[in-house]
Amino acid sequence: MVRIGVLALQGAFLEHANAMRQVKSTYGYDIDVIFVKTVEELRQCNGLIIPGGESTVMLNQARNSPGLMPELQSYLQDPSKPVYGSCAGMILMASEDGVGGGKKPQKGLGALQGMNVWRNAYGAQNESFEANIPFQGLLNPDIPFPAIFIRAPAIHSLVPSTPTPSSNASTASKLPAREDLCVLPPSLVPHIPEIADSPLGPADTEAMRIVAMKQGKKLVTSFHPELSGDLRVHEFFLRECCGMEADV
């Protein structure tokens, strides 16, 4: 039995949990799904999902739960821990100094060192859209995935990985290769305005096309698969990040 936690501080955690339970019943994965709001619950998890929602609210809620913030950051930075972040979850998984955009400065938690993210890159709520796009590694790969973008972040740029406080230069140099799983056509890539004082510098137009990426046991998507009714991204996380096999 593998226990998958869904961070339940804010956002679409119910939808992610429901999708995981449907994956269990559909594909026969031997998993238990729990909600995570405390350190004790996080320590029970073999893998973690961080849902879409409001990343600033999630961080504030984590700070208000005794001991959760440092434990969560340590969990995310541990290369042995499978973690999947969608939309706001992708923002939280960015480099510590790798988050731009939004009204107030924000830090990432360093799950994917070198990944810089721009918040709300795809516009406001009323600019949400759905696109059928290829996604490498999914079951039935010839069928595009219905990706739903709601105030979605974009990967601003990707820079060489650097050591985290809990690692060293040797560890950073041995990180698994990055896999760009889902790449948008140029026509769908958002425009990020040039901001002279942005610490992230100019955006990389090629990096901005990447809306699903995997490195080792870490997975991020700009979009919301939990809202699509398509279970294949959640199944991919169990198979490719958690190293599981279906029982059917």
pLDDT at position 123 over 90: no
DSSP H/E element including 100:
strand 99-100
Contact assessment for residue 146 and residue 130, using Cβ atoms and an 8 Å cutoff: yes
Residue 43: its pLDDT value, please?
A: 98
User: Is 67 annotated as belonging to a binding site?
Assistant: no
In three-state secondary structure terms, 123 is coil
Domain assignment present for 117:
yes
> DSSP letter string over 192-244?
PPP-TT-TT-S--HHHHTEEEEEETTEEEESS-GGGTS--HHHHHIIIIIS--
Residue 32 in any domain: the answer is: yes
pLDDT for 132-173, tens place per residue?
999 999 999 999 999 999 999 999 999 875 555 554 444 444
Q: Is 55 annotated as a binding residue?
A: yes
Residue 201: count of CB within 10 angstroms of its CB:
13
Q: Decide: pTM greater than 0.75.
A: yes
Q: Residue 234 falls within a domain, yes or no?
A: yes
Provide the total of helices (H) and of strands (E) in the chain, helices listed first.
Answer: 8, 12
Q: Reply yes or no on whether the pLDDT at 76 is more than 70.
A: yes
CATH number at residue 61: 3.40.50.880
pLDDT value, residue 194 = 67
Which residues touch 206 (CB under 8 Å, ≥6 apart)?
none
Q: For residue 170, is it left (φ>0), alpha (ψ between -120 and 50) or beta? A: alpha
Does residue 109 contact residue 175 with C-beta atoms inside 8 Å? no
Question: Is residue 116 assigned to a domain?
Answer: yes
Higher pLDDT, 211 or 203: 211
Tell me the CA distances in angstroms from 44 to 4, 36, 72, 88, 122, one per residue in order. 9, 9, 12, 23, 35
Q: How far apart are CA 201 and CA 195, in angstroms?
A: 8
The pLDDT score that the predictor gives to residue 170 is 44
Report how far apart the first and last C-alpha atoms of the chain are (Å, whole number): 15
Would the annotation count 151 as a binding residue? Answer: yes
Is 246 among the domain residues?
Answer: no
Indicate whether 9 belongs to any domain: yes
Cα separation of 108 and 164, whole Å? 12
Domain span at residue 152 reads 2-241
Does position 51 have pLDDT exceeding 60, yes or no? yes
Residue 15 marked in a binding site: no
What is the count of structural domains for the chain?
A: 1
What pLDDT does residue 165 have?
53
> Which residues are known to be catalytic?
87, 224, 226
Question: Does 248 reside within a domain?
Answer: no
Phi, then psi, of 48 in degrees rounded to 5: -140, 140
